A and B are shown apart, each in its own frame.
Chain A
Amino acid sequence: MLSRRTLLGTAAALPFTYSLLARANAEALTDVVVIAQQIDDMISFDPGESFEASANELEGNCYCKLVRPDVVNPSEIVGDVAESWSISPDGRVLTFNLRKDCLFDSGRALTAHDAVFSLKRLIVLNKSPAFIIAQFGFTAANVEELIVAKDDHTLEITLPSPQAPSFVLSCLTSNPCAIVEKERALANQQGGDLGNGWLKTNSAGAGPFRLVSWTASDRVILEANPHFAGSLAVKRLVVRHIKDPEAQYLALQQGDVDIARDLGSDRLRSLTSSTQFHAVSQTQLTSLYIAMNVSVPEFAKNAVQQAVKWAIDYEGIAQNLTPLVWDVSQSFLPSGVAGALNETPFRRDVAKAKALLAEAGLAEGFSIAMDHYAASPYAEIAQAVQQNLREIGITVSLLPGEQKQVVTKTRARNHQLALLVWNADYFDPHSNAQAFCQNTDDRDESAFKMIAWRSHFQDAELSASVEIAAREVDAAARIERYQSMQRLFWERAPFAFLLQRKAVAMVREETSGMVLGPMPAYTRYEGLRKT
């Protein structure tokens, strides 16, 4: 018979059953790695459709591409499924010879027909990331003729117009150019969607891992591709969506996760001194900048733009507000990209900034509103900028908002000042150069509405340079052009670049082999190992 004492004893012991259970779990999970990460930006697992950071990273480990960046030196492009490649002297025809030992996770061999299908699929689907190769002039009408398989292991891409080879190859390393298994995609297509509906929640790649399940805003589970050529120590990888950095920190400390990806400066600083953890960091192609809308009369004056650039305390912000995670960077080409100037010509000089305002006829200052992301550390950075600008007479009222809200406002050109973040789309200087420098049509109905357009910034010389550099076949001449563009940009553009992001993964001591890439798509899990 159940006595009161037994009942109370059992009830008191119940909470401790979990601790026993948890200990048993940790011992059993040597071939499973758990990562805590914010992954609620993911909208699809189809490389032809998704272009969000977390999707790029996860898909990058499930799919192969023709070429990929070298792990040690990302600006060096090496073959992924391509064994070798050649480029015609005029730079228009690229021929890739593919490896014969590459297998999809279904066990079927990867051929040039799969690669052709994947690139054509990207253009025909015409989803958000299609621009990656559509910018070369590929259309649904011409892609059939221009991207062809010469045989099972030879692929030929003919560019509609000449382009710098490094530019084309860089774009081919990006996630939308991932090679999808043609047969499986077509077997699962519905209504001629080329498998898009099915690939949203399934993978059909030849990368080291394959997708087991994705539950939006909750978790992604990958498992080792049984047909992957290399050996994988980790058989299962679980990425758990833990939005709150503090909750990530606690889970890492307790050993419930092996790697935490979104810890703030304070927590990173406290953990780096511990022998239980080690940090893996990598400078990312993510820039934090201030956009000044030239449609605001004050910002139409170059002297005012320069005054803002000379008023900001770059070092103070980096050291006090974002240590370990954001470094000072003042160029539109972030450090790591070919041709990036690592100089920092601006520093806080209140007297100079005031003199520039006076030169613009605004010695008394003026008032302005600045949109910024409400989350940390952007809100703190915005307050620091507000303080810096107040010292030269510019009164800034802050308008915090959610990221999507702020970005959408700038897309509609409704901002005055905006503190924003920009991620390069692919690993080539053209990505940022085009976004920040090119605006040949400032009308509302313009076909090209990138960052320069959004702030009404037009500079004929810079716009022309973007096109010339993209087509420059001589690599050294191309770099030189980008460098002169950056110097010109410092003088003329209404954008103040402040910081460049450094991704930091905090890893428990028993786990190793995490490789962060300068872009999410280049982060590699295949070397992960747990003792």
Chain B
Amino acid sequence: MKRFAVAAANALTTIAGTILGLLLVTFFIGRIMPIDPALAIAGDHASASAVAAIREQLGLDQPLAWQFMSYLGKIGRGDFGSSVMTSRPVLEDLARFFPATFELATTALLIATAIAVPAGIWAALQQRSTWDRAFRAVCLIGQSFPAFFLGMLFLLFFYVRLGIAPGSGRSGVMFDGVVEPVTGLLMVDTLLERNWAAFLDSAAHIALPASLLAFMALSVLAPMIRAFILETLSTEYMTAALAKGLSPVQAVTRHGLPNVAGKLIAMIVIAYANLLEGALVTETLFSWPGIGKYLTTSLLNADMNAVLGTTLVIGLFYLALNRAADVCGALVDPRLR
């Protein structure tokens, strides 16, 4: 019991320290940016008194340390402030933008994992074959081509040439505002309302951007899985398993995979975290109203409440994912307990 309490206290201290560090760095980067937030907000016709009033309203006339402490106090009360860009509370914005990214990133991760794991194993078992070379070449394309270029290719091929995928946005014009947001995840909300046409439409809209992100993620995941499996294939226990008469596929799935499961989970979690905050280009190209676009637009407009709020949410998600990876890793691999 005591050991559990100590572990929980340690975990909480780590989380609190990480969040504080994250906020501290983001806050001070925001303050040394070349844009004066008060001048940026004031507009062309603002008088000196209006600019001073905005500065006072934002607390920019106070010492930096005081500003930071005041911000922490507000965060503690659940007040993230309002966004200058959208005129709404940052929490409301996050509640709207984050589910869009979450839905996109989760779908992409599911696709990527479903393909990357069997493909990686297959490539390892077929090492140096034509299939293996082709597999590595495809992964190299995913790793080396910029998201913007690949995104345009996806749009040109699947949307324009074949006409089997919709273009940009989360839903078609017919389904705008048709479904009442409950979770913010459009596919889930349409299912909850049993609106099958809207569900199909939202699924069709997410297919292309999610496939693009999945392709980019799996082109990193799959070669690593291949490398893990190759490493296990050279171990003695695998040689013994094969000598007992197991087929290579049986040997890998029964003995190889459980041995690399911990590393695999950690890798998938990193890929997921990257998808959550790194979908900016995809969001721009596919007009996906997600958190990446919100963060960048806010940053470029010195909308610091929005930047800090978004950073905090992404940071919290990273922490949660890390913890989840630790727990899952320990569950599947006794050596990590």
Write the residues of chain A forming the contact surface with B, with a CB cutoff of 8 angstroms.
Answer: 15-19, 21-22, 25, 28-29, 32, 34, 40, 43-44, 49, 51, 128, 131, 200, 212-213, 215-219, 221, 238, 240-244, 246-247, 250-251, 253-254, 256, 401-402, 404-405, 407-409, 411-412, 425, 435, 445-450
Contact = CB atoms under 8 A, between A and B. Distances in A.
B177 interface: yes
A458 to B, nearest CB: 18
B36 A215 contact: no
A411 B39 contact: yes
Interface residues of B, number: 52
Nearest to B201: A21
A27 to B, nearest CB: 11
A447 to B, nearest CB: 5
Contacts of A447: 47-48
B168 interface: yes
A412 B293 CA distance: 28
Given A18-B164, A200-B87, A405 B34 contact: yes
Contacts of A200: 87-88
Contacts of A408: 34-36, 39-40, 302
A250 B155 contact: yes
Contact of B284 (A16, A25, A244): A244
A242 B84 CA distance: 21
A242 B287 contact: yes
A409 B34 contact: yes
B302 A404 contact: yes
Contacts of A401: 34
Contacts of A16: 164
B185 interface: no
A402 B168 contact: no
Contact of B168 (A18, A28, A251, A253): A251
A242 B168 CA distance: 8
Given A21-B201, A238-B176, 18 more contacts: A15-B207, A18-B164, A22-B166, A28-B174, A128-B43, A131-B45, A200-B88, A215-B96, A221-B176, A240-B168, A242-B287, A244-B285, A246-B152, A250-B156, A402-B300, A411-B36, A425-B44, A448-B47
A25 B174 contact: yes
Contacts of A17: 200, 204
A408 B40 CA distance: 6
Contacts of A247: 155, 167-168, 285-287
B59 interface: no
B168 A216 contact: no
Contacts of B248: none
A412 B174 CA distance: 47
Interface in B159-209: 159-160, 163-169, 172-174, 176-177, 197, 200-201, 204, 207
Contacts of A15: 164-165, 207
Contacts of B207: 15, 18
Nearest to B281: A244
Contacts of A409: 34-35
Given A16-B164, A216-B93, A43 B173 contact: no
Given A18-B164, A447-B48, A241 B287 contact: yes
Given A25-B174, A34-B173, A256 B287 contact: no
Interface string B134-168: 00000000000000000010011001100111111
Nearest to B34: A405
B49 to A, nearest CB: 8
A450 B44 CA distance: 7
A166 to B, nearest CB: 21
Nearest to B148: A244
Contacts of A445: 48
A521 to B, nearest CB: 16
A7 B160 CA distance: 27
Nearest to A43: B87
B163 A254 contact: yes
Most buried by A among B85, B168, B289: B168
Nearest to B175: A25
Given A18-B166, A131-B45, A450-B44, A212 B85 contact: no
Contacts of A412: 36, 39
A449 B48 contact: yes
13 contacts: A15-B207, A18-B200, A21-B201, A25-B174, A242-B287, A250-B159, A254-B159, A254-B160, A401-B34, A402-B300, A405-B34, A409-B35, A449-B47
Interface in B70-89: 84-88
Given A131-B45, A215-B96, A447-B48, A240 B169 contact: yes
B46 interface: yes
* 4 A-B pairs with the lowest CB-CB distances in the bound complex, closest first: A18-B204, A216-B86, A218-B289, A128-B43
A17 B167 CA distance: 15
